[in-house]
Structure 1
């Protein structure tokens, strides 16, 4: 799995870690990227672990260019000695969660059908095929950002469901580039959530992990 120092992240399906391909690291050693296989209709979980836990951390995620999906705090080892793996399986809305699901993309033969834009964007698309689908830039990628945090106490659970909206899975044929799958949110499932969760302030960005997902036959 991609690891940077004591930080690591991976994607699970059916309780098993997906294999990673073509793992690469940035020159400064703060970013890791790889490819993972996606299977249509499968739910997945974003996992993060700090095996040293000298400080408190959190791993936020962005899926297909979505707004930030807030993760779970991992406390320092001195405060909690059991192994801690933060697992984010979807978007929490009250007492229900909508899971992440690999879904099929719909191809559009018309650039004008594939994106939302203003009049200037229309001119760009008509004159530059590379801009035929803005969504294609981010569809097919899961990004995990790890932050150092300062835990300040507990607060009642917040409902972030309405603030996260995954893009429509429509991409222009010319911008497909092997992308057949995207991510959507599945039907809501009831969960028993605690009345309060740890709250903290993000102090510094530490590392990032990028997972580009493709059907296994295209890896």
Structure 2
């Protein structure tokens, strides 16, 4: 998983962390940036998981999905909260007790530009920013702004290899949420996950292609030596013995080379002749 100091972020599908490829680090606007590629599968729900292993300060996540601001979460220090070290972003809040999950989805190409079309430059990327914040009010009644992700329509000329984007699934229930108000002190780190179908990542050389499995060639019947012993001719009354002919491989020599005597000390000879 991408990790900077004590901060980690990863993407999960069906409870399993997605593999990450070509993880790179850089510095942008005085904050550390960690970038990687992950495989996406249309129709699969995903979760964004954040962890602060130290929890010495108040931190807040700022989420961008395909360039659209989404709900972030605040994590309090251990001194103020006994909650788990990880916090999970399942999707967008729809109410105090429901949310709509994030879902990898296929893009829809269109020939006509529209104000509802997504910007292709921002599609296929999940950005998680982590900030050091000052909590000004905690456990307030839920007052988050309900937002949705626009349809995945992009102009065909602006596609630029984009195949998948993110949509929101059907509304599902969850425990009651409250609102925490904060003021940003400074930005700490930013994690960027670029997602594409696995086959696209392989075609672009981001993910190694599977090595072809070698298939063993079946033996040619003429290359088989039949060493079956002779049998009695039991199906007739001739009393003769029948010998099965041996099939000799073309690659095996039928003549046997005569070995030379091997000389030992004091005139002793070991005869290896047949």
Instruction: State the TM bucket, normalised to the shorter chain.
Output: 0.7 to 0.9
* Structure 2 residue 142 is matched with structure 1 residue 157: yes
Q: Distance in 2 between matches of 1:87 and 1:4?
A: 18
Note if 1:147 corresponds to 2:148: no
Q: Matches of residues 111-190 of structure 1 in structure 2 within 5 Å? A: 113-116=112-115, 135-154=119-138, 155-161=140-146, 164-190=147-173
What is aligned with 2:7? Answer: 7
Distance in 2 (alpha carbons) for counterparts of 1:185 and 1:207: 26
Hey, what's the Cα distance between the residues in 2 that align with 1:26 and 1:160? 33
**Which of residues 175, 188, 206 is equivalent to 1:192?**
175
CA RMSD of aligned residues (A): 2.0
Deviations 1:131-177 (A, max 9, x none): xx87110011111111111123321111321xx23232122333323
Question: Which of the pair has more CA radius of gyration?
Answer: 2
Distance 1:65 1:82, change over 3 A: closer
Shift of 1:65: 1.0
2:114 & 2:121 partners in 1: Cα distance? 12
Q: Across the two proteins, how many residue pairs are aligned to each other?
A: 197
Instruction: Give the CA deviation at 1:197.
Output: 4.0
> 2:109 is matched with which residue?
107
- Give the conservation status (yes or no) of the 8 Å contact 2:45–2:103: yes
Q: CA deviation at 1:72?
A: 1.7
- Matched-pair contact (CA < 8 Å) for 1:91–1:160: no
Any idea what SS the aligned residue of 1:177 has?
coil
Matched residues in 2 for 1:218 and 1:51: separation? 34
Distance (whole Å) between structure 2 residues aligned to residue 58 and residue 192 of structure 1: 20
Q: Is the 8 A contact 1:54 1:77 kept in 2?
A: yes
Q: How has the CA–CA distance of structure 1 residues 27 and 71 changed in structure 2, closer, same or farther, with 3 Å as cutoff?
A: closer
1:121 equivalent in structure 2: none
Whether contact under 8 Å (1:99, 1:186) holds in the other structure is yes
Question: Higher helix share goes to which structure?
Answer: 1
Q: Is the 8 A contact 1:2 1:10 kept in 2?
A: yes
Larger RCO (CA under 8 A, 6+ residues apart):
1
In structure 2, distance between residues paired with 1:211 and 1:72: 18
Q: How far, CA to CA, are the matches of 1:104 and 1:188 in structure 2?
A: 20
Tell me the distance in 2 between the aligned counterparts of 1:134 and 1:98.
19
- Shifted more, 142-151 versus 197-206: the winner is 197-206
Tell me which protein shows more strand as a share of its residues.
1
- Verify the 8 A CA contact 1:114 1:170 in the aligned structure 2: no
Q: Which residue of 1 aligns with 2:19?
A: 19
